Structure 1
Amino acid sequence: MPQKTLLLVSVGSPPASLLRDLQDPLAAQMGVAAVVSKTVLPTPAYAFNKDRGQYHCNAIMRRLTPMQEPGQFAVLGISDVDLFVPDSPFVFGEADRESKTAVMSLHRLAQGAASEMLRRRAQVEVVHQAGHLLGLSYCEDPRCVMFFAQTPQDCDRKQLSLCNLCRNELQKLNR
């Protein structure tokens, strides 16, 4: 049974059913019990950058951090808005190990995706962000869930699991 609990928070209007579909892969791949928060954050207008037409990850994560409750090791926001960090044209998500907070977006993952494909892409990326929260870094293996995806097709190539090197690293981190 998973010993760590991750709080999943809806930011904006991602499908509620999709958030529930993220729970099993987090338990199976990362050993994390995910619970969906009853609190839903509205579309993060405070994080919108009008010059870029995107939403700043760090501003959203600052709102998520205080939502973490005792007994939860981290909080992860699931959003439907286009995310960015200053040095990238966009990101699928961002994680901060220190604050134990992450955010992931469905916006670009949904491009050209039927509902089943979007569900799988979301699962891959939420497991990826949870991996960062647990202490894992990026992996060079394009099939590993910890590979840095730059396109939705990169997500499609990734497996929903860790490669052997990352699995061993996670076991070390959990000791």
Structure 2
Amino acid sequence: MQVIEHPVERLHTALLSTRKDLIKTFQKFSRAEKTLLEDGLLPGNSLFSPITIHSDSDWIPSHPEDPQDFQSFYINPYRRSPKRGHKTIYIQTIGELLNFLKQIKPSDAFCIVGITMIDLYPKESWNFVFGQASLTKGMGVFSFARYDDHFYERSYTGRLKKKIELKQGDYSVFENYYTPPITSVLLLRSCKTLTHEIGHIFGMEHCQWLNCVMQGSNHLQESDRRTLVLCPICLRKLQSAIGFKIADRYKALLHWIEDGADSNGQHSKPTQAFQEYKDWFYKCLRILESDTS
């Protein structure tokens, strides 16, 4: 296993940039926000860990790319930010992929992302992809297929052997396709990929700085090792595109994880696999709320 650890000075430059105007905008973060972001670059911190490479089949060894720091993200002429009249993210269940999304994309959409049970093969030379996004067109698609624990069994076909007759009021999002049980692990895997693909639509490239949801992944084991959250450098990229208080973002994500719990702690959606992130968000909020200046 190889651990990628960049010097703190390089990480700090990647976060702040070398341009005086971008360094100045960093000062607009609150003292607590700057503490969270800058301390997250230090070796051994408890929130953000370095990238680990487990084999040559992992993304970074097999896809050499230049790291994208905040400055290169900011000056990219093709990066996208929501604007008035175009700030809604639509999620659409689909069978026909990007061409279908292009036809149905609403006029007020910032982007539209399709989900499918069909395994994705953008090119004949590729074995598969978890998802794919078009930055210029504001569209993306990702597949649940390989997130099902039964996908790699010999008996798995991906298609129903017998058509299910739906009752009145029922809705099938994947007509004629086998729909796996929605477990907390499948939901976590799907949230990672959806977040990753929408990040690309904002103009964020694959992260090579720290363990981050914007890291690339070639296989399910690597995808499972990838965290759900953005590293400090990619978090600043997203914040510059949307504009938010970091604490507000983490509170909203916590609310989504905890939403719907009854008195017995049962949830309307399976979020058991999100427990470590729930604890992580609370740890971050303790830092962010320690100083509101």
Instruction: Please give the range of the TM-score, normalised by the shorter of the 2 chains.
Output: 0.5 to 0.7
* Partner SS for 1:172: helix
Report the alpha carbon displacement of residue 104 of structure 1 after superposing the two structures with TM.
0.4
Q: Secondary structure at the match of 2:221?
A: helix
Please give the secondary structure, in 1, of the residue aligned with 2:129. Answer: coil
Instruction: Give the match for residue 129 of structure 1.
Output: 197
Q: Is the 8 A contact 2:195 2:213 kept in 1?
A: yes
Cα deviation per residue 1:85-130 (whole Å; 9 max; x = unaligned)?
Answer: 2142100000001111100001112235971111100000000011
Residue 113 (structure 2) pairs with residue 76 (structure 1): yes
Instruction: Give the 5 Å matches for 1:41-56.
Output: 43-44=95-96
Tell me the distance in 2 between the aligned counterparts of 1:88 and 1:162: 27
Give CA deviations for 1:26-52 in whole Å, capped at 9, x if unaligned. Answer: xxxxxxxxxxxxxxxxx33xxxxxxxx
Q: Does structure 2 conserve the Cα–Cα contact (< 8 Å) formed by 1:67 and 1:75?
A: no
Note if contact 2:210-2:231 (Cα within 8 Å) is conserved in structure 1: no
Superposed, which structure 2 residues align to 1:27-42 within 5 Å? Answer: none
Where in structure 1 do 4 or more consecutive aligned residues deviate above 6 Å? Answer: none
d(CA) in 2 for partners of 1:142, 1:89: 27
1:139 has 2:176 as partner? no
**How far has the Cα of 1:67 moved from its partner?**
1.4
Unaligned runs of 5+ in 2: 1-81, 152-180, 244-293
1:108 counterpart SS class: helix
Structure with more strand by fraction: 1
TM-score, reference length from structure 2: 0.40
**Structure 1 segment 13-24 matched on structure 2, within 5 A:** none
Q: Does 1:100 align with 2:138?
A: yes
Q: 1:142 to 1:120 in 2, by over 3 A?
A: farther
The structure with the largest alpha-carbon Rg is: 2
Q: CA deviation at 1:174?
A: 4.1
Q: Which amino acid aligns with 1:109?
A: Y
* Distance in 2 of aligned mates of 1:66 and 1:117: 32
RMSD: 2.3
